Amino acid sequence: MIEIDGGDGGGGVLRTALGLSIGTGRAVRIGDVRGDRPDPGLKPQHVACIEAACAVSDGDATGVEIGSDTVAFEPGPVDGGDVDVDVGTAGSATLVCSTVLPAALVADGVVRLRVSGGTDVAWSPPADYFGGVTLGALRASGLATSLEITRRGFYPAGGGTILLTAAPSTLEPIALHERFPPSRVRVAAAASDDLLDANVADRLARTAGDRLSNAGLAVASRSAEYVEARSTGAVVVIRVEVDRRSGTPVPIAGFSALGEPGVPAEDVANAAVDDLRAWRDGSGAVDRHLADQLVPILALVGGRIRIPTVTDHVESAVAVARRFGFDVAVEASESDGSTIVSADEPSTRLRR
């Protein structure tokens, strides 16, 4: 059993360890879970991640309760089928889905994971980001997966639902190390229907689209929708696509902002655009949040990604991958200040 120190890195250490355990078939024990947080131990969202990992891989786990600081997980076969997991709070549904993405690499059948919780909440990728950017970037390497948003869930009530469908996949090494200029951007805004009279979603999409156009970026689409939700909320997501030498459009970055009480929709949209412009002026080929989401898959299939900065999440994900025996390297570039995260293509690590 692989031993992981979860005292530094938050819930990302747990999620990375669970995903790599599913992909390799190796049991793992994570101790001192979230030990560096003011409220250490498992929260409902983390319990949901373990439940999803067990259900998807027919695995067994101990220590699966709120507040637990030690979790042991042993995966079984990924046969495919339907799985339902309820976070029970506004905890992130997309992070639950990201935990089990490696299952597609070793699955014998299609996995359909339905997660109820928060779809667009703080400290996690919004549903449009996860479905359009994270999964879009991985589809370029061969991951056969899709995401359907069946109901939005905002803080504090949650109550949203997303459906992740992942078919058995054989991936090419991830190749996101070359920096291409953005070919186009897409803007998607959503707001709870009680914000319709204030035109919040329309203002989010219009403000972001106009600013992006004025910055010389081609806005391929902009959408605004109003949805039934248990809590008032709004979100805007900007997806950046590039045309690689193959001619295939690939999402390589995303930028988002959540609505807040008393904050004009225009200010929310401007925050997302400001983040995009700062990334465009930098040296990374992907954005800082996509970087840490890609590390577990990168370890399993190999490849290279150019990231704008080495965040705590990237550091912890790389450290967990190395504990599993993967040779993941982090190399700073002296020429432009970017960093390359790379892994050799494994020949025997996957258990399929």
**Catalytic positions, please?**
313
Q: Which residues contact 323 (CB under 8 A, 6 or more apart)?
A: 2, 3, 4, 17
* 43 contacts: CB under 8 Å, gap ≥ 6: 11, 34, 66, 91
Backbone angle region of 168, left / alpha / beta, with phi > 0 → left and psi within -120 to 50 → alpha? beta
- Using omega within 30 degrees of 0 as the cis cutoff, is the peptide bond preceding 249 cis? no
- Which tokens in the block code for residue 108? 């014998």
Closest CA to 31 of 19, 43, 17: 17
Rounded-to-integer distance, Cα 298 and Cα 92, Å: 23
Task: Determine contact, residues 47/54, Cβ cutoff 8 Å.
Answer: no
Do 166 and 338 form a contact (C-beta atoms < 8 A)? no
- Within 10 angstroms of residue 153's Cβ, the number of other Cβ atoms is 30
Beta bridge partner(s), residue 185: 219, 240
Distance CA 193, CA 151 (A): 12
Q: Which residues pair with 341 in a beta bridge?
A: 305, 330
